[in-house]
Structure formats: C-alpha cells, structure tokens
Chains A and B, each alone.
Chain A
Amino acid sequence: KAGVTQTPRYLIKTRGQQVTLSCSPISGHRSVSWYQQTPGQGLQFLFEYFSETQRNKGNFPGRFSGRQFSNSRSEMNVSTLELGDSALYLCASSLELAGGWYQETQYFGPGTRLLVL
C-alpha cells in the first residue's frame, strides 16, 4: 500500500505570495493532520481534518488554512507569506475507522520544504 504523498516536495516563494500544498493520505485513511517543522520551534501541529471538517487546530495565525476533499485528500494554504513561514510542512494520515475520537497511529509523508525569500 502506498504511503502518504505530498506535492510539491520543494517550493520557493517570495514574501507576500500565497502557496498551496497538497497531501494524499494512505488509501482508506480518513483523517489528515498537518504539521510545521522549523529549526527554532520544532514540530508543531497546524490542524486536523476528518470527513471534510476541521476537527482540531493548533496555535497558528489565520493565514494558515486547509481543507479536505471527499476522497480524503487535503490541501493547506498559506497566504501573505512571511520569511518565518520557511519550513518543512508535514502531512500525516490515520485510519479513523469508526470516525470517532479513538486515537489511531498517524503515518507521515515526506514533507514539502518551503523556502520564502
């Protein structure tokens, strides 16, 4: 079974632009979470989507947004990019069979490395 895939793998943008990152979860997985990793702050949770609804959100400004499609694929968007948004953006998926609140193992994709100039 294929793992979590993320596109693009690398991206260069300039300040003020906006960017959209894509994540395809493992087949059958229904929950998708996004994380940001920077040298200074480490790995931080952005948000989680299940059944096209945002279930949980981390402490990030409103410039960071996301959505999930009916096939569980997810996108995240960052508007008005700042230099500090340069980071590795990671997507993780989990099964969530019952759609309930039981924690299930998250599996990560390779990430998208974003550089903001």
Chain B
Amino acid sequence: DAKTTQPTSMDCAEGRAANLPCNHSTISGNEYVYWYRQIHSQGPQYIIHGLKNNETNEMASLIITEDRKSSTLILPHATLRDTAVYYCIVRAIQGAQKLVFGQGTRLTINP
C-alpha cells in the first residue's frame, strides 16, 4: 500500500502557483519523498525529491515540514501543460528498487 495521502483532484488558474499537498505521517528517517507526474497516457515524469531540506529545480519546489510528516510540491507558474496526475511517493534510501504509487492528485490547470 502507498504510504502517502493526496487529494484526489485540484484546480489551478494558469499563471498562478499550484500547491499540491501530500501527507506521509508514517515516514521514517531513511525515506525520501519523491514526486512524479503523468500526463495522459504517457510514462511518469520525475519532478523532484527530497529528504528533509526544501529542494528546488527548474520544474518545481518541494517544501517538507520540519517533522517530515507532510510536504508540498509547488509549481510556481502553472501552464496548461502542467495538467497531469501528480504522485507523491515515499521510498527508502536503501533497499530494492520499487516505487509504490498511490492514486495521486489530478491537477487541472484552467485558462
């Protein structure tokens, strides 16, 4: 079972920041938070990951709370092409390569 909880769907206006929350209250100290997105019928696209510090790359920012029990993915200036299902995944630093996907958040960017 997935170790994360995400809202089923969200809407955001084009040009605004999209903030996608994720709860991972049972996360342990040796687990990362990963974010992927999947645009309709394509393969999942890696966005960003973090352990305990906030992270930023050219696609997004990841804010992880101090207790690490939740995080927020921020798309600073959403475009129509950001419409997708976003998956928040918790995975161990060590161990077998395996991603456990939940249902994700369906983000719709509206013009």
Interface residues of A (CB under 8 A from B): 4, 31, 33, 35, 42-45, 48, 50, 55-56, 58, 88, 90, 92, 94, 96, 101-111, 113
Interchain nearest-CB distance for B49 vs A (Å): 7
* Chain B residues near A109 (CB-CB < 8 A): 43
Q: Report yes or no: A43 in contact with B43, Cβ–Cβ below 8 A.
A: no
A-B pairs with beta carbons under 8 A, tally: 68
A56 CA to B101 CA, complexed, in Å = 16
Q: Report yes or no: A103 in contact with B41, Cβ–Cβ below 8 A.
A: no
Q: Verify if B95 is at the interface (C-beta below 8 Å from A).
A: yes
Interface residues of B (CB under 8 A from A): 32, 34, 36, 41-46, 49, 87, 91-103
Q: Report yes or no: B97 in contact with A106, Cβ–Cβ below 8 A.
A: yes
Q: Report yes or no: B44 in contact with A103, Cβ–Cβ below 8 A.
A: no
A interface, by DSSP: helix, strand, loop or mixed?
strand
16 sampled A-B residue pairs with Cβ under 8 A: A35-B101, A42-B102, A43-B44, A45-B99, A55-B97, A88-B41, A90-B43, A94-B97, A96-B97, A101-B94, A101-B96, A103-B93, A107-B46, A108-B44, A111-B42, A113-B41
Q: Report yes or no: A4 in contact with B95, Cβ–Cβ below 8 A.
A: no
* Chain A residues near B98 (CB-CB < 8 A): 33, 45, 48, 56, 58
Q: Report yes or no: B46 in contact with A110, Cβ–Cβ below 8 A.
A: no
